Structure 1
Amino acid sequence: MDVRLVTGEGVEERPVEELAALLEREDGLVWVDVPSCDEEAVRVLSEVFGFHPMAVQDCVVRNRVPKVHAYPDQMFVVLHAPARGKRGHVHYIELDHFVGRNYLVTVHGPINPEAEPGIALRETRAVLARIVAGRLRPATPFELAYAIVSALIRNQEAYVETVTSDVWRLEQQVTGGRVGDPEEFLNELFRARHGLLAVRTMGALGGAIYGRMANLLRVSPEGQRLVVDIEDQFDRIRSLADGEREYLQGVIEFYQTVLTIKAALVGQAQNAEVKRLTEASYTQNEEIKKISAWAAIFFAPTLVGTVYGMNFIHMPELHWIVGYPLALFLMALGSAALYMVFKRRGWL
């Protein structure tokens, strides 16, 4: 952990062994930054500062939602900042801090191993750089906490800006007809929506926490002014995320309309093709019926001719004078009868 003494002249790094003595001083502000709450950090938080065991435990584990606990001599606050992961995943980067009479303790909660190493320290490093450069001279723990939380909120705003650039790109793809794979494009749309919802939730919960903190009597008037400003900054993040989420919803609805229209056009084309195939099949069936009818009509004379073409000696009709005319008559009669039958059925 890093122990620092912040004075009007700048910041000094001090060893952990001097922490108890530094807390007894009336001049300067003690800032303890804990990158990871290990056993040594738990010992310092419990024995040197005497923090409540539940608060210390909250520093060790991951907290899913922001929170604030007011104790007689300090306040404990848990906040989250977003970090972009793979395929649109949002990492919740936790920042816990204790605000006391003359000290500020910042504890960086456990983070996902997939997150970028060192990303949890980005706010405290940014504030430390401002103090070292002389651009910031916090005189009270609330002023230092205000600077760190403001840096956290700026990271939330930067995340909204990053997602907004994705939303604009997705809108240009939709309006330009360059969507590509629809399934992957829908995944991108909903990943962007998930990111906006995540940072919107962080802003809304953070604003609620600082709204409650502003009503605590133990906060000094100067501290209350800073708390109210932080609450306003969180509300602004929530409003920004809500606005971009509504804009993205418009893109999603536009794309859904495009998909619906395309599906309708495809359905119409398919219906037209089915109608064409049905008509072709009907026409083919009519032709087959005609062919079948004429085949049956010509089958009758063929049958009679086949019978009379048999060269057997004992045939009753073989020596009839009317045998040949009768055969022709039977051929004509059979063909005519079949023709009339098929004509009535509409096959001819």
Structure 2
Amino acid sequence: MAIVDVGVYREGRRLDGVESIPEAHAHASLLPGAFAWVGLLRPTPEELALVAETFGLHALAVEDVATGKQRPKAEFYGDVLFLVLRPARYLDAVEEVEFGELHMFVGENFVLTIRLAENPSLGEVRRRMEDEPELLSLGPGAAAYAILDRVVDDYEPVVQGLQKDIDEIEDELFNGSGTSVALARRIYELSGEVIAFQRATAPLLGLVRDLRAREERRSAGIPLSPAPASVAAWDVELRRHLRDVEDHLIRIVEFADGFRYMLRDALSVHLGLVGREQNEQMALMTEASVRQSDQAKKISSWAAIIFAPSLVTGIYGMNFDLMPELHWAFGYPAAIGLMLAFAGSLYVIFKKKDWL
């Protein structure tokens, strides 16, 4: 059996001699004011079926536990309150958020927690409540509150870790590496973690509000349907504690919303920096292309200037006897003048076109 701990409490004190789930259920059923607090970790289907039969859990709730990957929610099955929580913790070594899954059944005389991951450690919650017998004497609701409070308190380090990661991203945006692919990937991955964190915390806030409002209506004498006995013992002191949990959750949910907007803005800044860098590169490429074009114009212009005299000399270098002005006394000076005229004319034309 994947039992982490099992105990029976009466008037805030733990009873001795209870070592098994059947014993805990029997004591809680027979002793007035007593309740069983059972903690399980990754039970097998057979173990889960045995626990469900012992405490009379609804088949749909048991199916949710067996399936896992449930969203945070609260459902009533007769006189049993079924809660699904998504604990989280920040892993400094890898700078990631790790999410767990915790299922909790709160009955008239029992609290059953089933963890599908190591996080959170509920042993500390149990020891804390055993050190506060006055609060624990309020019954199963007190244990349920303590577990809710621990899950919410564990969100605080996650908020701090996410804030640190976002601060690092903002620093990278403006220290010269704001256009790197690695930074874009980090922003994208961190956005996914923030969205997952929102999915864990935002529904929980609505859940706690509904529970507190429900108990306030009950205390005012407003009939509820269904009206489970398990929550009937949540007196004014527990409602105050739930209000404190709600206040913490409001702050956490607001932080998560702010983180999402900050990462969206960071991604926009990153895209802007990438666009600006691309524009600068295009401008440099354009300038280089213009310079190359100018050089090509100059080379082509000089080639044309040199070609004109070469054409004349080529014609007169064909060694034919019968050529115009071949035996003319001024033939040589005329050829030289023609070559200079061609070259000079081309130079003037290219100069006017700013090719030289």
Q: How does the TM-score come out when normalised to structure 2?
A: 0.75
Distance in 2 between the 1:92 and 1:322 partners? 101
Does the 8 A contact of 2:194 with 2:260 survive in 1? no
Whether 1:19 aligns to 2:17 is no
Whether 1:48 aligns to 2:54 is yes
Moved more, 28-37 or 298-307: 298-307
Out of 31, 50, 65, the position equivalent to 2:37 is 31
Unaligned runs of 5+ in 1: 112-117, 309-314
Whether 1:294 aligns to 2:279 is no
Give 1:252 shift: 5.6
Give 1:290 shift: 2.9
Does the 8 A contact of 2:148 with 2:245 survive in 1? no
Whether 1:162 aligns to 2:161 is yes
Alpha carbons of 1:26 and 1:337: their partners in 2 closer, same or farther (altered >3 Å)?
A: same
SS at match of 2:42: coil
1:260 paired residue number? 272
Alpha carbons of 1:325 and 1:196: their partners in 2 closer, same or farther (altered >3 Å)?
A: same
Give 1:178 shift: 6.1
SS at match of 1:264: helix
Distance in 2 between the 1:194 and 1:322 partners? 90
> What is the letter of the counterpart of residue 71 of structure 2?
V
Out of 4, 9, 14, the position equivalent to 1:6 is 9
Alpha carbons of 1:288 and 1:9: their partners in 2 closer, same or farther (altered >3 Å)?
A: closer
Out of 102, 106, 110, the position equivalent to 2:109 is 102
SS at match of 1:307: coil
Distance in 2 between the 1:87 and 1:346 partners? 66
Does the 8 A contact of 1:29 with 1:141 survive in 2? yes
SS at match of 1:193: helix
1:66 paired residue number? 72
Whether 1:196 aligns to 2:194 is yes
Q: Which one has the largest radius of gyration?
A: 1
Deviation string 1:139-182 (CA, Å, 9 cap, x unpaired) is: 1110111111111111122221222222233334445x164782
Whether 1:222 aligns to 2:234 is yes
> What is the letter of the counterpart of residue 307 of structure 1?
N
Distance in 1 between the 2:271 and 2:240 partners? 46
Distance in 1 between the 2:108 and 2:325 partners? 141
> What is the letter of the counterpart of residue 100 of structure 2?
I
Distance in 2 between the 1:258 and 1:59 partners? 42
> What is the letter of the counterpart of residue 104 of structure 1?
V
Structure of greater relative contact order (alpha carbons < 8 Å, 6+ residues apart): 2
Out of 318, 323, 326, the position equivalent to 2:327 is 323
Distance in 2 between the 1:249 and 1:231 partners? 27
Deviation string 1:27-81 (CA, Å, 9 cap, x unpaired) is: 4321111222324532433322122111222222204212222133221111111
Give 1:5 shift: 1.2
Alpha carbons of 1:182 and 1:43: their partners in 2 closer, same or farther (altered >3 Å)?
A: same
> What is the letter of the counterpart of residue 153 of structure 1?
V
Count of matched residue positions in the alignment of Structure 1 and Structure 2: 330
Alpha carbons of 1:162 and 1:277: their partners in 2 closer, same or farther (altered >3 Å)?
A: closer
Distance in 2 between the 1:293 and 1:26 partners? 116
> What is the letter of the counterpart of residue 94 of structure 1?
E
SS at match of 2:39: strand
Does the 8 A contact of 2:304 with 2:346 survive in 1? no
Unaligned runs of 5+ in 2: 216-223
Distance in 2 between the 1:174 and 1:211 partners? 39
Alpha carbons of 1:87 and 1:321: their partners in 2 closer, same or farther (altered >3 Å)?
A: closer
- What CA RMSD, in Å, does the superposition of the two structures yield over aligned residues? 3.7
Does the 8 A contact of 2:169 with 2:187 survive in 1? yes
The percent identity for this pair of structures is 17
Does the 8 A contact of 2:90 with 2:161 survive in 1? no
Does the 8 A contact of 1:142 with 1:226 survive in 2? yes
Distance in 2 between the 1:321 and 1:223 partners? 128
Alpha carbons of 1:201 and 1:275: their partners in 2 closer, same or farther (altered >3 Å)?
A: same
Alpha carbons of 1:54 and 1:328: their partners in 2 closer, same or farther (altered >3 Å)?
A: same
Give 1:222 shift: 3.4
> What is the letter of the counterpart of residue 307 of structure 2?
A
Does the 8 A contact of 2:7 with 2:24 survive in 1? no
Distance in 2 between the 1:340 and 1:269 partners? 40
Give 1:231 shift: 6.1
Q: How does the TM-score come out when normalised to structure 1?
A: 0.77
Distance in 2 between the 1:57 and 1:156 partners? 27
